[in-house]
């Protein structure tokens, strides 16, 4: 398994960060890497995610399963790319209360036979995507500051 981990401090309480993070309909408004997310923010539900391409149009689509939902602390989904033994991707959001608000820990893990083949590209591109999403979430939650 390979992991990419990012963090950002958000000057709002975890409940406010959680409310934006789990409101999937709003992702298309504030999230610069995702065009659309549909589905219920509950454990065991299936989501439908449409990524945003470089041209802003719809790109890769996938249907992850929500595997953990502990409001307002942790949220995780698992996407099977191709077949599970070839590539599985987990997206993990953890919210920790801090004296200044919330620390968002945003992790993606990758496992499967295909990961070593794509790892060079993923380790360069995925952190940029996660940090871009983190900054946009921070801006949305903090009210544009």
Looking up residue 78, the CATH number of its domain turns out to be 3.30.530.20
- Tally of domains within the chain: 1
State the pLDDT at residue 83: 67
Q: What domain range includes position 72?
A: 2-142
pLDDT in tens, 35-94: 999 999 899 999 999 999 888 787 888 999 999 999 999 999 999 977 667 899 999 999
pTM of the model: 0.92
Do residues 136 and 142 lie in contact, with contact meaning Cβ atoms separated by under 8 Å? no
pLDDT in tens, 83-127: 667 899 999 999 999 999 999 999 999 999 999 999 999 999 999
Write the CB contacts of 21 (distance below 8 Å, at least 6 apart in sequence).
Answer: 75, 93, 95, 137
State the pLDDT at residue 53: 84
Distance, CA of 109 to CA of 114 (rounded, Å): 13
Length of the chain: 145
The angle that helices 115-142 and 14-21 make with each other, rounded to 10 degrees, is: 120
């Amino acid at each position: 398994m390979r992991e990419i981990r990012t963090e950002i401090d958000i000057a709002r309480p975890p409940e406010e960060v959680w409310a934006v993070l789990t409101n999937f309909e709003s992702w298309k408004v504030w999230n610069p890497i995702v065009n659309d997310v549909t589905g219920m923010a509950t454990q065991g539900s299936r989501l439908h995610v449409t990524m945003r391409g470089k041209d802003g149009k719809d790109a890769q689509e996938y249907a992850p399963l929500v595997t953990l939902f502990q409001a307002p602390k942790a949220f995780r989904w698992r996407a099977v790319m191709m077949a599970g033994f070839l590539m599985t991707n987990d997206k993990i959001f953890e919210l920790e209360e801090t004296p200044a608000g919330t620390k968002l820990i945003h992790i993606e893990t990758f496992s499967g036979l295909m990961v070593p083949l794509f790892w060079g590209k993923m380790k360069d591109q995925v952190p940029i995507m996660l940090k871009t999403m983190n900054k946009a979430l921070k801006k949305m939650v903090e009210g544009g500051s």
